[in-house]
Amino acid sequence: MKNPFVKQDHTFLIASIAVGALAAGAVAYLFLTDDGVDNRKKLERSIKKSFKKAAADVAEQKTKISKKAAKVVADHMAN
């Protein structure tokens, strides 16, 4: 039987709640404000650009094709 007087550690629970609250605030900002919409579009473009570069690098390394051909393949995959 557990001892009811032993203090339990709730650090993980408190940290999880704090991280969840911050994430919810960030999502609300991005979707509910005009500045957030602009930032979301910039973030989306940045993520697509990073994905295209990473895909081109992987395609070039794995297939030994030219960088230009790898970029064409990455552009096709992103769209």
Which tens digit of pLDDT belongs to each residue from 29-39?
A: 888 888 888 88
| φ, ψ at 65 (rounded to 5°) | -95, 170
What are the boundaries of each domain within the chain? 11-78
Q: How many CB atoms lie within 10 A of CB 49?
A: 11
Longest dimension (CA), the chain: 68
d(CA 76, CA 12): 43
d(CA 55, CA 38): 26
pLDDT at position 78, please? 65
Does this model's pTM top 0.75? no
Checking if the pLDDT of 76 tops 80, the result is no
